[in-house]
Amino acid sequence: MTAEIDSHARRVGLFLNLAGERRGEFQASCGELFNRLLLTETFDGATAMLARQPVDLLVLDLDGFDDSGDLSAASALVRARQGAPVLVLCPYGNTAWLPELMAAGPLTYRISPLLSEDLQQSVSQALTAPLDAAAAQQQALLDKEKELRDLLAIQRGVQRALTGMDELGTMAARICTALCSFPGVRHAALFHMQERGNLVLAAQEARNHLDMARLLQRSERLLQSPLSDTFPPLMAVGSGDMVLLDAPEKAGDPELAMQLHDKGVRMVLALPLRSEAGGPVQGAVSLMFDRHIAFSREQFSGLGSLAQFISFGLAMSELKHQNDALAGKLTQITTVDALTGAVNRRHGEAELDNEIRRARRYGMPLGVIAFDIDNFRSVNDIYGYPCGDQALRTVAQTVLSRLRTSDQLVRMRGEEFLIIATHTAAIDALKLAEKLRETIATTELPGCEMVTISLGVAQAGPEEGASTLLERLDAALHRAKRAGRNCVELAMAS
């Protein structure tokens, strides 16, 4: 027996677990740390033993417990200790129970499975009474203060990352950078649930050269990955609970453990993201640490609120994305002519006013072309209205395809259109009009004979407003009609 073990003589311990085998194992590895070790398989048994005699350390081994009834019974035991030492051995996969148990009273925890010597060391530490209680208390306060400062700093970082309501990818990247400022974090990643249950890696920030996409061998459809039952963030999304892995090998995948060890990862914490309690899981945040940290209740709760905060930011960003898409659709509906895809008259007239003002301000020429399909009435009469519609659509699309992106095609009424050609003088507008006339005259129309167009061309005068410009254009167009159609006429000077 070592000196350390001697110093724990006369200590009474109580170990609780359902399985006889585990009780035997505990006795074999830690029995000698106690003067007397009580073993029980039930919560009632533990309660009765605690009531009968003083117990220096209660070891709650939660392996094999799996329902919420067990969790509330375990919480009641922790509460009954009233601050006396409790060591919780929590199986990997149920680490979400820790914050809840911590709410019942102070405790230390280890995640199982544990090596025998690690278990001995944890029990020994839990049994060691501080020699100088005042100094220990002072140290605990300092530790707590540091914990809270770290949490506050990371919360501020995340808050900054969330302001601005960026597109999701940018926001996720900024969140990961902020999370990496938490002490010990060497890698942060954000997973996001897209439509139809497609979990993707939205962003990551590495301070240890770890590439999450490479580790998982994919960056989307992650829930279908073979690691979905072993890797903390994927488990967190699957279960909706926090998952803490305090040693890579405990995940039970030697290849994964080796890769994490290679990058200096000692601990992984994954927090599910959901914007409302009980709501659907939107993704997860994963934090990889280069050290082992025994989280306090405040840290668990701080990290939990941080996750909620992030979820909220993501939900807002998604909402903004949807709103932008809707607003875009609305603009499309209110400004575009549904039949031809040209700008509608109301929006076209406003655009003409804007372009006239802009041309005047910058001293740039503005060319305008009005055109009208010749004898369109006969197309409708001979081939029917639906065919006429199709012809209108084809003419508009053909013209649009010949214009610059800065030009605009406006459907003014029926088969009359206007082209607003910025930075274009009369001479170039004439050339454009001629090119369009020729193109339409040689364009096949589905289901009916070919059509021609007549065009009027003008350049806005230096002081001219939209109404006189349109009148001049109209006159030019009428001259083109009178001249026999399928031709271009330049408007009289303003």
Ligand X SMILES: Nc1nc2c(ncn2[C@@H]2O[C@H](COP(=O)(O)OP(=O)(O)OP(=O)(O)O)[C@@H](O)[C@H]2O)c(=O)[nH]1
Q: What is the DSSP letter of 224?
A: G
**In a 3-state reduction of DSSP, which class is residue 285?**
strand
DSSP tag of 491: P
Minimum distance from CB of 381 to ligand X (Å)?
7
By CB under 6 A, the residues from 386 to 405 that bind ligand X are 388-389, 392
**Residue of the chain from 26, 43, 109, 376 that contacts ligand X (CB under 6 A):** 376
Identity of the residue, 48 or 385, whose beta carbon is nearer to ligand X in the bound complex: 385
User: Which of the ranges 84-92, 121-129, 374-382, 486-494 carries the binding residues for ligand X, by CB under 6 A?
Assistant: 374-382
**For ligand X, which residue of 138, 385, 404, 492 counts as binding (CB under 6 A)?**
385
Residue among 431 and 478 whose Cβ is closer to ligand X:
478
Distance from C-alpha of 240 to C-alpha of 297, rounded to nearest angstrom: 19
Q: Mapping DSSP to helix (H, G, I), strand (E, B) and coil, where does residue 429 land? A: helix
Q: State the Cα–Cα distance between residues 417 and 292, nearest whole angstrom.
A: 72
Give the containing element (helix H, strand E) for 59.
Answer: strand 57-61
Whether 303 contacts 324, CB under 8 Å: no
**CB closer to ligand X, 201 vs 343:** 343
Residue closer to ligand X (CB basis): 36 or 481: 481
Nearest to 354 by CA among 422, 425, 456, 426: 422
Burial class (CB within 10 angstroms; exposed 0-12, middle 13-18, buried 19+) of 458? buried
**Residue 414 binds ligand X, judged by CB under 6 A:** yes
Decide: residue 10, CB within 10 A, 0-12 exposed, 13-18 middle, 19+ buried: exposed
Instruction: Tell me if 66 contacts ligand X by CB under 6 A.
Output: no
Look at the alpha carbons of 422, 426, 429, 431 in this order and tell me if their dihedral is positive or negative: negative
Q: Which stretch binds ligand X (CB under 6 A): 10-18, 21-29, 272-280, 369-377?
A: 369-377
- Per DSSP, the residues of 420-469 read EEET--HHHHHHHHHHHHHHHHT--BTTB----EEEEEEE--TT--HHHH
- Binding track over 27-46 against ligand X, x by CB under 6 A: --------------------
Task: Give residue number: closest CB to ligand X.
Answer: 388
Nearest CB to ligand X, comparing residues 310 and 470 = 470
Distances in Å between the Cα of 411 and the Cα atoms of 35, 345, 392 are 95, 6, 10
The site map against ligand X for 311-350 (x = CB under 6 A) is ----------------------------x-----------
Which residues between 475 and 494 bind ligand X (CB under 6 A)?
Answer: 481, 485
Residue 458 beta carbon to ligand X: minimum distance, rounded to whole angstroms = 19
Give, as ranges, the residues between 445 and 474 that touch ligand X (CB under 6 A). Answer: none
Answer whether 271's CB lies under 8 Å from 303's CB: yes
Which range touches ligand X (CB under 6 A), out of 80-88, 93-101, 218-226, 375-383?
Answer: 375-383
372, 436, 448, 457: which one binds ligand X (CB under 6 A):
372
Site string for ligand X, 294-313 (x = CB under 6 A): --------------------
How many helices (H) and strands (E) the chain has is answered by 17, 15
Question: Judged by CB under 6 A, does residue 56 bind ligand X?
Answer: no
Please give the structure tokens belonging to residue 418.
Answer: 């206007």
Residue type, 252: G
Q: Which is nearer to ligand X, 197 or 447 (CB)?
A: 447
Nearer to ligand X, 88 or 473 (CB): 473
Q: Are strands 185-194 and 198-206 parallel, antiparallel or unpaired?
A: antiparallel
Among positions 313, 415, 419, 459, the unique one binding ligand X when judged by CB under 6 A: 415
Say whether 292 sits in a helix, a strand or coil. coil
Contacts with ligand X, residue ranges (CB under 6 A): 339, 372-377, 380, 385, 388-389, 392, 414-415, 481, 485
